[in-house]
């Protein structure tokens, strides 16, 4: 397995390894080179391969397959460092690392892993094909129409139309499809490693992210059955494993958003008219947003581990994904505003940041759907509560559930608890509403409040607490407006 990896990269300590990655990026993107690389066009494969050869994806690869020692911090750092060079750069790192490499090594067999890694490390890599043009991406597990059917024991027929795959036209796609048996599409979802030769595509003309190729991909072909990557031998677990792919990638996504926040701050300082008081105020908004981003970044570094299951972290993953993307998008919009007309010039380092970033609030689960899910996960018993025989009384108030939920209790901190208790408005709101009165619309607003509360409990700075409390107040107003 080590044939594609330079052994020296494995011997380096974390500091040496990360500074080597930075050097690789600087060689391509700094010293005037950034002007020569037009990220409004597709990034040169040769340049990208050179960065990968310097170890960019090694933190995502477990040691037993020739990667670095398990270290969540390194995963987050490579995503963050890549974000310092622009949105498409970190997205491409995230797609290949978290959406392709990690699922491949987690669910693939030896032969599939070897084949996939060869294409990832020595070729153009791959993409993950989930979303379809004719079904809802939000309800994909239920509505998915793509299927595979056994023709004989060695061959399957795959019929799939997938769209918006990052890294389309590269060496392969991991395509999600359901097994068709006796003319019926079953609930068994698998990933199929589909090499480029079986895929036809129509290029998608995207509004931004030009450096990441997108397409509508079509597969209607007989391919070897050994390319099926089973998510579970047990069909009841397929769906859960399918979801686990997204739990991990949502938890890790904050590496990308944190890097992009740094990219925004680094660039806006050079261009904003700091002598104007209100501009200073807006710069402070960005700074506070960055502080919030840091809390989320640290959460993943300190609570997630590449070798440990994340199945119990769905609520936390949804909190991080929604808030990291909501706040980074907000910072991107402020930054573009502060540039005035310059923010509309093609080629300006941050003229495209908001448009490139916007889909982060949509992919990996649209934020509003995830806010609603945060509420669902909060109001249901967790796996460990179920094991202990605990049931959630739907007549209890949100406040009572908040007090009993260990995922929030974990951050118990007297300082913060005092602040929350002093905030009559928030406590009153939590005490005034019972779980059984929350309908589909209200779920989104309560999900937002819970998400911010989760971060509030981990905040140490007065400014961040004030900032989050202001947003919680706004969510309460939205909730009440919809009553
Ligand atoms: C730039 C970009 C990159 C992408 N990369 C990939 C990729 O690499 N691979 C891949 O397979 N797909 C990818 N996608 C597709 C993406 O994952 C889907 O667009 C996403 O899952 C949403 O699905 P949809 O577009 O079908 O929206 P829909 O499911 O139709 O939802 C539309 C909108 O309805 C609202 N909504 C839906 N459900 C709810 C709910 N329950 N509660 C509240 N509101 C709701 C939300 O506002 C949502 O945005 C990408 C998309 C973009 C734009």
3-state secondary structure of 160: strand
- Please tell me the distance from the alpha carbon of residue 34 to that of residue 428, in angstroms, as a whole number: 52
Residue 44 is predicted with a pLDDT of 82
Q: Tokens 């409004």 label which residue? A: 40
Percent of the chain with pLDDT over 90: 83
pLDDT in tens, 53-69: 999 999 999 999 999 99
Q: How far is the CA of 140 from the centre of ligand 1 (A)?
A: 9
pLDDT in tens, 167-226: 999 999 999 999 999 999 999 999 999 999 999 999 999 999 988 999 999 999 999 999
Average pLDDT of the chain?
93
The three-point CA angle 289-295-296 to 5° equals 90
- State if residue 102 touches ligand 1 by the CB under 6 angstroms criterion: no
In this predicted structure, the answer to whether residue 1 has a pLDDT above a threshold of 60 is: no
Q: How far is the CA of 137 from the centre of ligand 1 (A)?
A: 5
Q: Output the residue whose Cα is nearest ligand 1's atom 49.
A: 366
Residues in the chain: 483
Residue 36 is predicted with a pLDDT of 61
In this predicted structure, the answer to whether residue 320 has a pLDDT above a threshold of 70 is: yes
DSSP per position, 387-419: HTT----TTSBHHHHHHH-HHHHTT--HHHHHH
Q: Output the residue whose Cα is nearest ligand 1's atom 40.
A: 369
Q: How far is the CA of 66 from the centre of ligand 1 (A)?
A: 34
Q: How far is the CA of 102 from the centre of ligand 1 (A)?
A: 22
pLDDT in tens, 70-123: 999 999 999 999 999 999 999 999 999 999 999 999 999 999 999 999 999 999
- State if residue 164 touches ligand 1 by the CB under 6 angstroms criterion: yes
- State if residue 368 touches ligand 1 by the CB under 6 angstroms criterion: yes
Q: Kindly indicate the confidence band of residue 237, based on its pLDDT and cuts at 50, 70 and 90.
A: confident
Q: How far is the CA of 159 from the centre of ligand 1 (A)?
A: 21
- State if residue 127 touches ligand 1 by the CB under 6 angstroms criterion: yes
Buried b (16+ CB within 10 A) or exposed e, 350-362: bbbbbebbbbbbe
Residue 365 is predicted with a pLDDT of 95
Cα separation values, 256 from 82, 95, 262, Å: 7, 11, 10
CB-side neighbour CA atoms (13 Å) of 284: 10
- Which ligand 1 atom sits closest to the C-alpha of 95? 8
Residues 6+ apart with CB under 8 A from 187: 178, 235, 238, 239
pLDDT in tens, 133-162: 999 999 998 999 999 999 999 999 999 999
Residue 460 is predicted with a pLDDT of 87
- Which ligand 1 atom sits closest to the C-alpha of 373? 41
Identify whether the C-beta of residue 212 lies closer than 8 Å to the C-beta of residue 166: yes
Domains annotated for the chain, with CATH where assigned, are 2-124 (1.10.540.10), 128-232 (2.40.110.10), 238-481 (1.20.140.10)
């Amino acid at each position: 397995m080590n044939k594609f990896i330079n052994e020296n990269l494995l011997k380096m300590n974390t500091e040496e390894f990360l500074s080597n990655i930075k050097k690789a990026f600087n060689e391509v993107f700094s010293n005037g080179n950034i002007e020569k690389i037009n990220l409004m066009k597709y990034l040169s494969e040769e340049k990208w391969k050179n960065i990968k050869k310097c170890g960019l994806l090694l933190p995502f690869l477990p040691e037993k397959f020739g990667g670095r020692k398990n270290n969540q911090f390194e995963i987050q750092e490579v995503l963050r460092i890549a974000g310092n060079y622009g949105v498409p750069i970190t997205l491409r790192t995230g797609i290949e690392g978290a959406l392709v490499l990690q699922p491949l090594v987690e669910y693939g067999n030896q032969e599939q892993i070897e084949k996939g890694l060869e294409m990832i490390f020595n070729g153009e890599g791959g993409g993950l094909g989930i979303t379809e043009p004719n079904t809802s991406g939000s309800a994909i597990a239920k509505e998915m129409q793509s299927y595979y059917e056994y023709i004989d024991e060695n061959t399957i027929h795959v019929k799939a139309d997938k769209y918006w795959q990052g890294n389309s036209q590269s060496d392969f796609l991991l395509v999600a499809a359901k097994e068709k048996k006796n003319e019926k599409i079953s609930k068994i979802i698998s990933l199929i490693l589909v090499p480029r030769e079986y895929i036809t595509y129509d290029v998608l003309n995207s509004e931004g992210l030009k450096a990441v190729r997108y397409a509508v991909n079509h597969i209607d072909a007989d391919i070897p059955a050994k390319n099926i990557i089973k998510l579970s031998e047990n069909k009841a677990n397929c769906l859960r494993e399918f979801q686990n792919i997204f739990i991990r990638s949502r938890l890790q996504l904050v590496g990308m958003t944190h890097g992009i926040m740094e990219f925004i701050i680094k660039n806006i300082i050079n261009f904003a008219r700091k002598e104007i008081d209100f501009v200073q105020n807006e710069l402070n908004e960005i700074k506070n947003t960055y502080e919030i981003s840091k809390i989320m970044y640290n959460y993943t570094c300190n609570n997630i581990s590449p070798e440990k299951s994340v199945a119990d972290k769905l609520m936390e993953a949804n909190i991080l994904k929604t808030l990291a993307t909501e706040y980074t998008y907000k910072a991107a919009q402020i930054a573009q505003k502060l540039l005035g007309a310059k923010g509309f010039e093609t080629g300006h380092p941050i003229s495209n940041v908001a448009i490139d970033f916007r889909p982060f609030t949509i992919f990996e689960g649209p934020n509003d759907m995830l806010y609603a899910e945060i509420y669902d996960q909060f109001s249901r018993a967790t796996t460990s509560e179920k094991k202990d025989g605990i049931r959630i009384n739907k007549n209890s108030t949100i406040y009572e559930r908040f007090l009993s939920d260990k995922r929030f209790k974990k951050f118990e901190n007297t300082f913060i608890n005092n602040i929350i208790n002093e905030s009559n408005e928030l406590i009153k709101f939590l005490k005034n509403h019972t779980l059984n009165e929350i309908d589909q619309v209200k779920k989104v607003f309560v999900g937002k409040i819970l998400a911010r509360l989760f971060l509030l409990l981990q905040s140490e700075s007065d400014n961040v607490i004030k900032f989050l409390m202001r947003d919680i107040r706004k969510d309460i107003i939205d909730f009440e407006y919809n009553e």
